Amino acid sequence: MPDIDSILRSAPVIPVLVIDEVSEAVPIADALVAGGLRVLEVTLRTPAALDVLHAMKQVPGAIVGAGTVLNADQYRQACDAGAEFVVSPGLTSGLAAAASAGPVPLLPGVLTTSDIMRALDHGYTRLKYFPASIGGIPALKAISAVFGNIRFCPTGGITLETAPEWLALPSVACVGGSWIVPAGQAIDPEQIRVRALAAAALDAN
């Protein structure tokens, strides 16, 4: 099972996926991997999410995790479905305990300095910065000056055009992007592959 650092180093962008139909899972994953994005975050925002995650794991080269995990039960469900990592929008003591005892790494979400200090108390130095659109790059620059040992994956409101500004920050390991597979749009594997190629070509620290 990959550790969180190897996951964050695998590509400059982690696609954040909201998928309603299990039948779309493999074509999407195939296109993303073909475009150079191997790490895929399937958010638990749809009833099909766990089945989608399980299906995507069959795609060679894909490293598939679960996102929008809100509690210990969802962490365990994601692990049972085969998730290789878990991403949460925040961190609670219950979720931290489940992840500490669990088989796969957790990337917890933070936004404030208090959030980061709480995460540090639980041993986390690799964090999701969410939602990145609140405060933006100036806020993360200021935060990074205080927490020099933290590496972040900013997510929320980032686009292909703005991603390079985030990736230029020394504290940023990669970014999360929902623009590569926009939710609610018809699935076009070739367009997804093209967007993945553009994202994979971005420079990361």
Catalytic sites, residue numbers: 41, 128
**Are the C-beta atoms of 116 and 83 separated by less than 8 Å?**
no
Distances (CA, A) of 26 to 60, 62, 172, 188, 196: 10, 10, 29, 12, 15
Which of 190, 163, 138, 202 has the alpha carbon at shortest distance from 27?
Answer: 190
Helix axes 93-101 and 72-80, enclosed angle (nearest 10):
30
Q: Which position has the token pair 């998730």?
A: 83
What is residue 17's three-state secondary structure?
Answer: strand
Q: What does 116-127 look like in DSSP terms, one character per residue?
A: HHHHHHTT--EE
Cα–Cα distance between 20 and 37 in angstroms, integer?
A: 21
